[in-house]
A and B are shown apart, each in its own frame.
Chain A
Amino acid sequence: MSKKHVVLAGAVMLAASAVALAGPAGGTVSGKVTYEGTPAKMKPIDMSKEPSCQKMYTTPPTVETVVTGSGNSLQDVVVYISAGAPDDAAPSTAAVFTQKGCRYIPHILAFQVNQEIKIVNEDQTSHNIHPLPKVNREWNKSQPPGTPPISEKYDKAEFIPVKCNVHPWMHGNFAVLKNSHYAITGDGGAFSLGNLPPGKYTVTAWQESYGDQSQEVTISGSETKTVNFVFKAKPY
């Protein structure tokens, strides 16, 4: 069940980016993120200290620091244009980060600098949302059940781990990006960055455990270039 949820969320994210990117036609960078080697086995989460969440799962969900799919594909990888594209103004729609079943949905929330994010608690327990930025300002807010969403913004690009101190297994990420050309890989590890005007770009893939990789790509006209990323899996 949980897996499906994540996949679904990923799909929603992709759809959202696609909508955001609708506009003058341009080139596209697409590809697939895979791994080689043996990734660490994701351990099941013991939620026994929070029965209201535990009862939502028939089998315990696993941690999500490395999510793999068929054909050695890697999910939850943020692929974005790290250089070559101008900074974009933030879209007016808010990115939504939901706490449900004592997990973060999506596990990685990508959004733009100064874009509004809404943090929702759908659980019957209090969470505290404690993102741990290094360059942005750090805050930490409590969100008991039934309270309205927390609205926040970040004004600098950064990958920010998010945790809930009350439920130490809860772990997510904010990817604060400078432009609208980004995607998060879903099941299958595929991504597509569209609407790229002709130019030279640096495409970067970021995985929370494996770090990042970059490749240069030159787009002319409305071509589609394929860029694949292969991460070396860490067995621990």
Chain B
Amino acid sequence: MDVRGGSGVNRIAKRPVKTLFYVAAVLGIFLSTCSPANALPAFARKYGMPCSSCHEAWPKLSPFGQQFKDNGYQMGNDRDAPIFQQPAYWPVTFRITPIWHRESNDKTQVDGSNGVGGNEATVTTHGFDWSGLDFHTAGTLANNYSFYVLPSSDNTAAFHFESVWARIDNIGGSSWINVKLGKFELDNLLSEKRILTLTNVSGVYTNYHFQPVGEAYKFGIGDNQVGVEWMGHSKNDRTRISASLLSSSDGQPSVPNSRAYNGYFAASQAFEVGSLGLQRVGGFAYIGQAPTYFQFTNGGPTAGLPGTGIGNKGFQRYGLIGMWYVKKFDITTIFFHSHDSAYLGTNTPSGGPLNPTGALPTGAQAPTWNGGLFESHYNFNPQLILINRYELVRMSQQALSTNPGNLGNADVLTFGARYYPFISSRAGFAYHGEYAIIWQKGVSPVTATNQTTSSLLFGFDFAF
């Protein structure tokens, strides 16, 4: 499983416990399924609107909800400041998901019957479980000062900060100037925090976290990043544009890596097509760089002093997105193009004591790959949504020329349905059912052959 963040657990996990979680994952004890998502009855309570106003199907936003978010969690009708709330109002929302799930992996590394390691077997597990807890607090501090703080736990109640930011909205009375500072989700039109699927396979978008086989530096465009964002939008939110300057830490606290900065740019335009609905097209680009070795170490050549990473090498993620509506049916299409430096792809220091000449291994080349995403929904009514997603990733250049050309190629297919038995302005509840399967080329742990992982999940997803 070289798909980074292939499970919700991995993404939440902090580095020191990552290995542990890998072991857990291999054992088939897939723990968390719920990716932290923004569905805030706190807002519904504040404005007295049903979930369905802002969410086509929570947590997925409707255009109205997107406008509300882009406007700094404000309606703009002079009732946004917290002073209009009862003093006891506290903008807080919890979300958690009790489930039953079944996980199956056809090439799990196991010991053989004679106790000898290095075998592969199909391992299937199932049982009752629950997700981590999201503790959303968000809203306005005053008119045009919005905030969002999200402590999020895994299902052992180990908390981390998923989001921590404040935003100054509508600076100078212009909807084109909004500045956000902190840890936040990138301005992705297809928000991973609002993903409608929850399984270990499809709780995140594969394309948002894919990295070539062999690469150790971890980055996902779906991960919340730390930095500052300027965002502008037309009043009716048809035009959206943003640019962010981010620390090259993939959202980790305490600047663990380097002093490098990354940039993210996104723009989109929506247009009305008669009775079909609102269509949107856009593009995004993440221009990043990451250190390949540490300037200072303390305790040996691999014990880098946090924040002193140097020898930055570049990586890029580009995408084109379209969100197409035909009345109750909609499909989101994304084309991804990604490119990493050969140093990152092969985990090679570009200098320093371990590799003073900065030489690359034989056959090293910059890994390059393309991806596609097709996510369609049929929204019968605000209470019922059917979900289908197909994602594919195709390597066009491996990190090592000796690798098979298709190594790591992935295909992910997901079917899901969510039924909301009631829609209110106080809480959200969904019956969730989902099946997801990923086929990946040549990544099995022992034989390096194709691997198939599937996940089946039923549960209650609720927020209050």
Instruction: Establish whether A and B are touching in the complex (CB under 8 Å).
Output: no
| Residues of chain A having any CB pair with chain B under 8 Å | none
| Residues of chain B having any CB pair with chain A under 8 Å | none
